Amino acid sequence: MTKEFTTGAFHGLPIALGYLSVSFGFGIKAVQSGLSPFSATVISALNLTSAGQAAGVDIIAAGGTLIEMILVQLTINIRYSLMAISLSQRLDKRFTTPHRMAASYGITDEIFAVCSARQSLLTPAYMYGMIFAAFLGWVSGTALGAAAGELLPASVSSAMGIVLYGMFLAIIIPPAKKSASVLLVTAAAAGLSVLFRYVITAVSSGFAIIISAVIAAAVGALLFPIKEDE
């Protein structure tokens, strides 16, 4: 178990380093929106979702209602349910229901991508190690950013936002170079996202992500089915 936890933490180290810079920007944004550094840090510790946290801070700053907060978070973060369902097919038999519930806390876009690319079955210890590393990077980055929020200009906070997209590219490009199926699914998802962004604008960004992911995954499953023995 210790070896698997260490392996998971090692694989989660690049994610933690990326989260450190991204959450630094969130910490700055949270403090500039009127939250205390402690509140910003607690939010990161309880959520682990960059887009959801950023939207939540905007609602808090605008004095929004709890209903509005619930609907926005559901729309933005519901994609994690799809990720959890996908990963459930790759879990080791040691993943009992309590382990599944505990591990669901740490399913993020980056952790999902790394776990999906792993050849062997996922064990609780491996996922806990990865989640622990990502958690430390995300929370510590938020705390540091919140502490520096009153010193750095707003332009720095805005610039930090592009780091998250750099992380996505770093995850997608290597497997896309090796697999035509990954490249096709990625291109299909990107194309659908652009379509929703500029043509079908009535659909919210959260649901657009879900629809694009489902359609792209369905196309990949139809064109590149995985045999049962694999």
Each residue's pLDDT tens digit, 197-218: 899 888 776 677 778 878 888 8
Three-state secondary structure call for residue 154: helix
Q: Which of 92-96, 108-112, 123-127, 147-151 has the lowest mean pLDDT?
A: 147-151
Give dist(CA 59, CA 193) in Å, integer: 24
Give dist(CA 48, CA 76) in Å, integer: 13
Pick the closest to residue 137 from 8, 220, 19, 51 (CA basis).
Answer: 19
- In this predicted model, what pLDDT tens digit does every residue of 151-187 receive, in sequence order? 777 676 666 656 656 766 777 788 888 888 888 988 9
DSSP track, 173-185? HHHHHH-HHHHHH
pTM: 0.71
